[in-house]
A and B are shown apart, each in its own frame.
Chain A
């Protein structure tokens, strides 16, 4: 379903974030992407979610080549992914409810159906009673969970999480990892970038200075 073939990503300015990376991820897999800070984990996830395009090599998503796709087609590709960003990217001038409702609005889901799904997503992450709260009034962990709720609300085929446990204590981190596993168990492909794969159970993709050393944990 996701296939990288000798993918190199060079950012403007010349920095090579990924070097000739080749791998394949099948539907329903649970994959951890590990590596030191600056190894290229976020870059890899952005390429997978069609947010960035490769400099050389090919990225195939469901056999569609992201590198050659029209710009106008990218939004529809992106909707297949529930993305949890490293910096959350929550909207601080909107309530928790409205933040989670955004992907649904983009997808054209509205009204009562949207409300139902937003509440279901908030319930999943334990924030149902905070739907009216503004993100700024939520703790760091709650914000993280709000970001997760937004990623799962449109029931994506692939969940992509960039360091979702980055600033959480280990209990929280454990809960969230359990949540991801539960999604994986119902068939969702889950990709998690993390700098410590201590308790990771699943396939590992390890990055070192942009190069892939598959299955070799840090």
Chain B
């Protein structure tokens, strides 16, 4: 156990010594990795903000139930009962066919068109406000209501919310794809810088192998170096986003004031920041594992 701790300590010391001896090279690498990582992380940040904004907006999907024309009072009463007891509904309102007909006749411009009709063609209707803004819930309710007796047609009035959510989902997928692609690129980039380090330490590796070093012993300091490189890159990405956000928010603030809104872009949360840095470290680790293993297998 103690030997194990010491081995890691030794490897870490070696890596830190290297960092101190070539700070500029590490800084450049951190900038490259940071810039690459800031793309998916930044996109994620924008999406997260949009998602929050969408949730804030009174989306309030509205559903209209149209009864059949022949529906009698009992049937209407039954629906009223059911709506009353339903938990997924915030409020609802009954619009009788008479009221609707009256409203329509009041409206300017339609007068002429309606003159030809002597009978009221409108059905009774319920206007329902759903308590959740999640479009999936509204969809489910629409299906449920459609199956109720004497209900002719159920109209969901939340298409744009649905579209927004679909777009956000699409955006999340884009972030994933971008992150995976850039992840591969970063593994290759970090792997390559580690390869250069390996080449400068060729003799040490060769001699160590000849006198009985395991692959694990040889790999260890490089893995640390790769992970450290990744962490530095991850932190750089975070800083890039932070600064970009600061600049962006200054303009957003002016705009928001014009619209009397307090909308702001928020930085990455603690969890997202941790994920960013940990995955950067992991990519560095993988890149260097790949690089050292490739070198060792050729020995």
Contacts and interface: CB of A to CB of B under 8 A. Distances in A.
B92 interface: no
Interface of B: 3-4, 6-7, 10, 203-204, 206-215, 217
Contact of A89 (B10, B210, B213, B217): B210
B207 A91 contact: yes
A91 B203 contact: yes
The 8 closest A-B pairs by CB, nearest first: A78-B212, A79-B212, A108-B3, A110-B6, A106-B213, A75-B214, A75-B212, A89-B207
Given A83-B210, A85-B210, A92-B203, 6 more contacts: A76-B214, A78-B211, A89-B210, A102-B211, A107-B212, A110-B3
Given A85-B210, A91-B203, A106 B6 contact: no
B213 A75 contact: yes
Contact of A108 (B7, B207, B210): B7
Give the dominant DSSP class at B's interface: helix
A75 B216 CA distance: 11
Given A72-B214, A75-B213, A102 B6 contact: no
Contacts of B215: 72, 75
Interface in A86-117: 89, 91-94, 102-103, 105-111
A9 B209 CA distance: 21
Interface residues of A, number: 26
A137 interface: no
B208 A106 contact: yes
Contacts of A102: 207-208, 211
Given A108-B7, A111-B6, A103 B212 contact: yes
B221 to A, nearest CB: 11
B10 to A, nearest CB: 6
Contacts of A77: 212
A109 B10 CA distance: 11
Contacts of B207: 89, 91, 102
Contacts of A78: 210-212
10 contacts: A78-B212, A81-B212, A83-B210, A83-B211, A89-B206, A102-B208, A106-B213, A106-B217, A111-B6, A150-B211
Contacts of B208: 102, 106
A187 B29 CA distance: 53
Contacts of B7: 105, 108, 110
A83 B3 CA distance: 24
Contacts of A93: 204
Nearest to B211: A103
